Amino acid sequence: MGSSSGGGAVDAVVLVGGKGTRLRPLTLSAPKPMLPTAGVPFLSHLLSRIRAAGITHVVLGTSYQAEVFEEHFGDGSALGLELEYVVEDEPLDTGGAIRNVYDRLRGDDVVIFNGDILSGTDIGSLVDTHRCSGADVTLHLQRVADPSRFGSVPTDADGRVTAFLEKTQNPPTDQVNAGCYVFRRGVVGAIPAGRRVSVERETFPGLLEAGAHVHGFVDDSYWLDVGTPETFVQGSTDLVRGVAPTAALSGPRGEALHLSGATVAADAEVTGGSTLGADSVVGTGARVESSVLFDGAVVEAGAVVERSVLGAGSRVGEGAVLRGVALGDGAIVGEDCELLDGARVWPKVELPRGAIRFSSDA
């Protein structure tokens, strides 16, 4: 840990083994933390922030498409990290995944991260809070505008967590579980081994019931769960525009990020923090706004693409309109099609000219 915390080494664990079902069809070809986001795998942004906080030993708990993480990040030395991989043969859920890395932990405390959160919280302060309060577990609690969409986590005047509440219309607090925790190492060892355990539904309520000290680190900096196509696009555009924090990107931020070989017709418009993947093409008169084109995606002449993500090698035909859409890799949308909010097209599916689909899977 950075010198400010002054309490010895801290490990980081990143949970990256989920199937990412809410992000299908994008997660059919790559696990959610590996999806290209502002030109690099999503996980790079989190790893860069872990490194910037002075933590160097990072264990990835993997399961779904486990091998692709090591293929890309290797031993982590290029990022100044020492990366280890622990693979679950069967997914163990969040708590089971944390228990499964227990024998790799070296420090007294470990910071656990969900691998699908884009966050600006101060990791050093989170660890300092944990150590100063002497807690067994400290949770990053995020203040959100609409807490009714999440389970909420109230705290008392001393910052101790008093309950884990299910979603309700009128939650008593705007603090929600932000998917980032500091555990004492011994608390990890006490999670049952070798079976599925949900840290949110089983471990945390169990700790409270047993009288453990569960502390809250309340924060209201940037925070986004990129688990759905809508929030994935939001996170990507926020990174490109410099709204979301990362240490993985250099250079100025702006309206668009063009990766190598991307070509844009002189009269096309690309705005709103869009990313154009390598060798992607935006044709004459086309408009791409607040969207993500993976490598080799093509937007043909006069098409409009807003708040959408286009998988690798996918194609949007002339004059088509896509708003709030996710296209799988290699999907083809015919000329003059109109696809609106929530529509998802599976990899390699071809929609004929003029097909109109609203919020349905193809």
State which H helix or E strand residue 230 sits in. Answer: helix 229-241
Instruction: In angstroms, give the least distance from the CB of 271 to ligand GTP.
Output: 29
Instruction: In angstroms, give the least distance from the CB of 49 to ligand GTP.
Output: 15
Residue from 5, 44, 63, 246 touching ligand GTP (CB under 6 A): that is: 63
92 part of the interface to ligand GTP, by CB under 6 A: yes
Instruction: In angstroms, give the least distance from the CB of 88 to ligand GTP.
Output: 5
Nearer to ligand GTP, 160 or 196 (CB): 196
DSSP-derived pairing of the beta strands 223-225 and 117-119: antiparallel
151 part of the interface to ligand GTP, by CB under 6 A: no
The span from the CA of 354 to the CA of 352, in Å, is 6
The span from the CA of 54 to the CA of 174, in Å, is 30
Residue from 36, 41, 115, 273 touching ligand GTP (CB under 6 A): that is: 115
Nearest to 244 by CA among 31, 49, 35: 49
* Cβ-contact 144, 210 below 8 angstroms: no
Residue from 37, 48, 65, 94 touching ligand GTP (CB under 6 A): that is: 94
State which H helix or E strand residue 16 sits in. Answer: none
The span from the CA of 302 to the CA of 317, in Å, is 9
21 part of the interface to ligand GTP, by CB under 6 A: yes
Q: Contact letters (x/-) for ligand GTP, 171-210, by CB under 6 A?
A: ----------------------------------------
State which H helix or E strand residue 133 sits in. Answer: helix 123-133
Residue from 1, 39, 58, 88 touching ligand GTP (CB under 6 A): that is: 88
The span from the CA of 19 to the CA of 276, in Å, is 26
The span from the CA of 255 to the CA of 270, in Å, is 7
19 part of the interface to ligand GTP, by CB under 6 A: yes
Nearer to ligand GTP, 188 or 351 (CB): 188
Q: Which amino acid is at 162?
A: T
Instruction: In angstroms, give the least distance from the CB of 230 to ligand GTP.
Output: 13
Tell me the residue length of the chain. Answer: 362
22 part of the interface to ligand GTP, by CB under 6 A: yes
Instruction: In angstroms, give the least distance from the CB of 6 to ligand GTP.
Output: 30
Residue from 1, 10, 13, 15 touching ligand GTP (CB under 6 A): that is: 15
**Which tokens in the block code for residue 273?**
């923090």
Q: Which residues pair with 122 in a beta bridge?
A: none
Supply the DSSP symbol for 136: S
61 part of the interface to ligand GTP, by CB under 6 A: yes
CA angle 157, 159, 165 (to 5 degrees): 100
Q: Contact letters (x/-) for ligand GTP, 216-235, by CB under 6 A?
A: -----------x--------
Question: Considering Cα of 229, then 234, then 239, then 240, what sign does the dihedral take?
Answer: positive
Q: Which residues pair with 264 in a beta bridge?
A: 282
Nearest to 59 by CA among 73, 71, 45: 73
114 part of the interface to ligand GTP, by CB under 6 A: yes
110 part of the interface to ligand GTP, by CB under 6 A: no
Q: How many residues bind ligand GTP (CB under 6 A)?
A: 23
17 part of the interface to ligand GTP, by CB under 6 A: yes
16 part of the interface to ligand GTP, by CB under 6 A: yes
**Which tokens in the block code for residue 284?**
């004459």
Residue from 11, 20, 326, 343 touching ligand GTP (CB under 6 A): that is: 20
Nearest to 25 by CA among 295, 312, 328, 330: 328
Nearer to ligand GTP, 38 or 178 (CB): 178
Residue from 11, 109, 116, 219 touching ligand GTP (CB under 6 A): that is: 116
Residues that bind ligand GTP (CB under 6 A): 15-23, 32, 61-63, 88, 91-94, 97, 114-116, 227
